[in-house]
C-alpha cells in the first residue's frame, strides 16, 4: 500500500467498523452491568462506558456525518461525569476539522495520538509459510478459553520495552473483564501459539465489512524473539483473505515497537487519531 492515498470515504469506512466494535462491546458490558454501562450514538459515532478504568470507555467515529450539537455533547459528558470518569474522544485526522475546535472549546485536552495502519490483502497472504517446528499456531478452542485469558493477561501485562514506552496496561481484573467481553463481539476470532504442549501466546482478529481488525497479540516473555508474533500475523491475514477481506488494519502508538513491526510486515500509515480528554471535574 506504499504511496496509497487514503480518501475520507475509506477513513469513514474504517471508523464505522470501529464504531460497530465499540457499540458491541458497550452493549455486552451493559448486559452484564446495566446499572452503569451504556452505549449512545452521537454524530455518526458512538460513546461507550463499560466500567471504571475500562479501555473501552471512549467516544469514537464522530465527525464524518456532521458535527454533534453542544446539547448532544453535554448529555454524553454529563453521563461520564456522573460516573467519575474522563471522556476520551478519539478523533480521526480525516474527520471534520471543526470537531477538534469544538471539543477544545468545551474543555477537552489533547493527551496523545494513535496511528491507524493498513495493508492490502492478496493472494500471497492466503498462503502463509508453515510454522517453524518450534511452535504451532492454531485457532483457540473453547476448552482453552481460561488458559487463553490467563496468557493474554500475562502477555499484555508485560509489554515489550523496546521503542517508545507503551501506555500502562489496565489492572489485571479490568483486563480480564475486557478480554472476556471482547470475545463475545461479532466477527471475533481467537488464536493461540503452542510450544511443547504449553500455550505461549495469544492473538485475535475481528472481521467486519471486508476489513480485518487485528485486535492484539501477546507472547509470554519467556517465549519472545522466536517469530511467534510474525506467525500470528500471517495466520490471521490468511484467514482474513479466506473470509473475503480486502484490507487488514492495526492501531498502534506512534513510534512504538508495534508500529515498527507492523511496517516491516507491509503495513503503512493510513491516518492518525487525536486523543482528546475531558476530565470529570
Q: What are 160-219's pLDDT values in tens digits?
A: 655 555 566 667 888 898 899 999 999 999 999 999 999 999 999 999 999 999 998 999
Produce one character per residue of 160-197: b if its CB has 16 or more CB atoms within 10 Å, e if not. beebeebeebbeeebbebbbebbbebebbbbbbbbbee
Evaluate whether 11 touches 270 at the Cβ level (below 8 Å).
yes
Evaluate whether 107 touches 278 at the Cβ level (below 8 Å).
yes
Q: Are 106 and 125 within one domain?
A: no
Q: Are 69 and 89 within one domain?
A: yes
Q: What is the mean pLDDT of the chain?
A: 92
Q: Are 104 and 220 within one domain?
A: no
Secondary structure element (H or E) that encloses residue 275, with its range: strand 268-278
Residue 33 burial by CB count (10 A; 0-12/13-18/19+): exposed, middle or buried? middle
Q: Are 108 and 234 within one domain?
A: no
Give me the pLDDT at residue 201, please.
97
Q: Are 13 and 130 within one domain?
A: no
Give me the pLDDT at residue 172, please.
82
Q: Report the CATH number at residue 250.
A: 3.40.630.30
Q: What are 90-107's pLDDT values in tens digits?
A: 999 999 999 999 999 999
Q: Are 126 and 196 within one domain?
A: yes
User: How much is the pTM?
Assistant: 0.92
Domain assignment of residue 52, yes or no:
yes
Domain assignment of residue 18, yes or no:
yes
- pLDDT at 3 > cutoff 70: no
Give me the pLDDT at residue 157, please.
84
Domain assignment of residue 1, yes or no:
no
Q: What are 138-173's pLDDT values in tens digits?
A: 999 999 999 999 999 999 987 665 555 556 666 788
Q: Are 111 and 133 within one domain?
A: no
Domain that holds residue 198: 120-270
Q: Are 235 and 140 within one domain?
A: yes
Q: Are 128 and 106 within one domain?
A: no
Q: Are 130 and 254 within one domain?
A: yes
Give me the pLDDT at residue 258, please.
85
Domain assignment of residue 131, yes or no:
yes
Joined together, the cell numbers standing for residue 224 give: 519472545
State the total domains in the chain: 2
Domain assignment of residue 2, yes or no:
no
Amino acid at each position: 500500500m506504499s504511496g496509497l492515498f487514503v480518501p475520507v470515504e475509506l477513513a469513514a469506512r474504517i471508523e464505522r467498523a470501529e464504531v460497530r466494535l465499540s457499540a458491541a462491546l458497550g452493549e455486552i458490558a451493559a448486559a452484564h452491568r446495566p446499572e452503569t454501562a451504556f452505549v449512545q450514538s452521537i454524530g455518526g459515532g458512538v460513546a461507550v462506558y463499560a466500567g471504571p478504568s475500562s479501555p473501552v470507555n471512549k467516544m469514537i467515529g464522530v465527525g464524518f456525518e456532521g458535527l454533534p450539537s453542544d446539547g448532544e455533547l453535554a448529555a454524553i459528558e454529563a453521563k461520564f461525569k456522573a460516573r467519575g470518569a474522563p471522556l476520551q474522544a478519539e478523533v480521526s485526522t480525516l474527520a471534520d476539522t471543526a470537531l477538534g475546535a469544538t471539543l477544545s472549546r468545551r474543555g477537552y485536552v489533547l493527551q496523545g495520538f494513535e496511528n491507524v495502519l493498513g495493508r492490502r490483502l492478496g493472494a500471497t497472504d492466503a498462503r502463509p509459510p508453515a510454522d517453524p517446528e518450534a511452535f504451532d499456531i492454531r485457532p483457540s478452542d473453547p476448552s482453552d478459553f481460561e488458559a487463553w485469558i490467563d496468557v493474554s493477561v500475562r502477555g499484555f501485562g508485560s509489554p515489550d520495552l523496546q521503542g517508545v514506552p507503551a501506555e500502562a496496561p489496565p489492572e489485571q481484573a479490568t483486563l480480564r473483564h475486557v478480554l472476556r467481553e471482547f470475545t463475545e463481539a461479532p466477527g471475533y476470532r481467537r488464536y493461540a501459539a503452542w510450544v511443547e504442549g504449553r500455550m505461549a501466546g495469544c492473538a485475535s482478529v475481528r472481521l467486519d465489512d471486508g476489513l480485518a481488525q487485528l485486535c492484539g497479540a501477546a507472547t509470554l516473555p519467556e517465549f519472545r524473539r522466536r517469530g511467534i508474533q510474525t506467525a500470528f500475523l500471517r495466520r490471521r491475514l490468511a484467514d482474513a483473505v479466506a473470509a473475503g477481506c480486502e484490507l487488514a488494519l492495526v492501531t498502534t502508538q506512534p513510534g512504538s515497537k508495534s508500529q515498527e513491526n507492523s511496517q516491516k510486515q507491509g503495513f503503512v500509515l493510513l491516518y492518525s487519531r487525536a486523543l482528546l480528554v475531558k476530565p470529570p471535574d
